[in-house]
Amino acid sequence: MKIVLAFNKKPEEIIVEDDEPPDRYAEFDPPRTIEAIVQALESLGHKVFPVEANESFVENLKELSPDIVFNIGEGIRGESRESHVPAILEWLGIPYTGSGPLTMAITLDKPITKQIFIAEHIPTPRYTVISNLKETQNIGDLRFPIIVKPSHEGSSMGLDSRSIVYSFKELKEQIAKIIDLYRQPALVEEFVEGRELTVGILGNAPPEVLPIKELDFSSIPDELGKFASGIIKAKYWHLVKHYCPASLTKSLYEKICNISLKVYRVLRCRDLARLDIRVSKDEIPYVLEVNPLPDLDPKEGNFPSMAMVKGISYKDLIARILKAGISRYPALLNKEGS
């Protein structure tokens, strides 16, 4: 088949404007991820055309007229930017892999996602949203420590060693940073002190939970913060200990799997997704957020490494994502089998 790989690549030289956040391109993929996916798809016998998901995306799609788009595009601007590629593809009637525009828009909006979790009785940390510094004191009965995040970002954007706060003074400083630098409301959330897990889910019929990974931050210096902040991911990821499969009791493992699959179903995720979970000291798995565009970096990506533990090679992982996408389009099923 003729496949377009839709992507957004990290610039070789990252230059951000004075009024832009320093992690402006944190979500974009490094060249090695794009190259690895192209190689995997080509090794499966397909013709692959990498296309940047930018302002020329529609014209390039029309020119190439692909059978299907393998989507890892993050979008380039706006609070619903991850929904732009699938929305364009549906508008043009082009098949694609991954979740639809509704799921992509919802999961990038952390407060809306948490409202759905609460409605569906899915454990998530208590929170509020602050859009104005005058509202800083209006956090109700939220308990410190509190973590302050941008409401509409992924890839740990906006998170650093000062994001976990222990006083109203620190809280106000972090809220001001989010509002001023990211130009969006701040998500103010109780920080769950406990184990940090990541859960990968692959496929649709039925979706499969990959071996669960635990991230151990005990070797990270205290002043950097012991959680998956942007600075840790960018510069100190080699100090984080990865345990996959995580050491979990049978009851906790089953609880995490059931909650994760419920999240996948409720948010209408398709083909693949990754969840961030923190387990409290009383063994309650709190879902922090959901990423329907998980990092497929063959070197450092959590999703490929969890698949590898399951015995799924990188090539097979890409093949399974593609097959899951193809399964929604009868005409492609006939073409694949011909």
Pairing mode, if any, of strands 272-280 and 194-202?
antiparallel
Higher pLDDT, 27 or 108: 108
What is the model's pLDDT at position 14? 63
Paired with 165 in beta bridges are: 146
Q: How confident is the model at residue 55 (pLDDT cuts 50, 70, 90)?
A: very high
Q: Report which of 313, 79, 75, 296 is spatially closest to residue 87, judged by C-alpha positions.
A: 75
Q: Do the domains 194-318 and 126-190 match in fold?
A: no
What is the model's pLDDT at position 103? 98
Chain CA centroid to CA 129, Å: 21
**Token reading at 327:** 């399964």
Q: How confident is the model at residue 134 (pLDDT cuts 50, 70, 90)?
A: confident
What is the model's pLDDT at position 136? 76
What is the model's pLDDT at position 320? 98
Q: What is the mean pLDDT of residues 32-36?
A: 97
Return the CATH fold of 126-190: Dna Ligase; domain 1 (3.30.1490)
Q: Which CATH number fits domain 194-318: 3.30.70.330, 3.10.20.30, 3.40.50.1170, 3.30.470.20?
A: 3.30.470.20
What mean pLDDT is reported for the chain? Answer: 92
At residue 12, does pLDDT exceed 80? no
Integer Cα distance of 13 and 201 in angstroms: 34
Q: How confident is the model at residue 166 (pLDDT cuts 50, 70, 90)?
A: very high
What is the model's pLDDT at position 337? 54
What is the model's pLDDT at position 157? 80
Residue type, 211: P
What is the model's pLDDT at position 228? 84
Structure letter (DSSP) for residue 30: P
Cis? peptide before 298, omega within 30° of 0: no
Integer Cα distance of 235 and 24 in angstroms: 16
Q: How confident is the model at residue 156 (pLDDT cuts 50, 70, 90)?
A: confident
Q: How confident is the model at residue 233 (pLDDT cuts 50, 70, 90)?
A: confident
Paired with 130 in beta bridges are: 186
Residue identified by tokens 């130009």 is 183
**Token reading at 59:** 């014209």
Helix (H) or strand (E) holding 220: none
What is the model's pLDDT at position 24? 64
The pLDDT tens digits of the residues spanning 279-307 come to 999 999 999 999 999 999 999 899 999 99
Decide: 66 and 329 in contact? Cβ < 8 Å. no
The pLDDT tens digits of the residues spanning 190-204 come to 999 999 999 999 999
What is the model's pLDDT at position 281? 93
Decide: 266 and 120 in contact? Cβ < 8 Å. yes
What is the model's pLDDT at position 15? 64
Structure letter (DSSP) for residue 142: P
At residue 82, does pLDDT exceed 70? yes
Q: pTM of the entire structure? A: 0.93
Cis? peptide before 86, omega within 30° of 0: no
SS3 287: strand
Q: How far is CA 337 from CA 95, 123, 173, in A?
A: 17, 43, 58
Q: What is the mean pLDDT of residues 77-85?
A: 92
Integer Cα distance of 111 and 127 in angstroms: 8
Domain extents in the chain: 2-97+325-337, 126-190, 194-318
- For 2-97+325-337, CATH number? 3.40.50.20
Integer Cα distance of 44 and 1 in angstroms: 10
At residue 268, does pLDDT exceed 90? yes
At residue 4, does pLDDT exceed 80? yes
Integer Cα distance of 114 and 284 in angstroms: 16
At residue 20, does pLDDT exceed 80? no
Provide the percentage of residues in the chain whose pLDDT is more than 90. Answer: 76
* 3-state DSSP percent of the chain in helix, strand and coil, to 5: 40, 20, 40
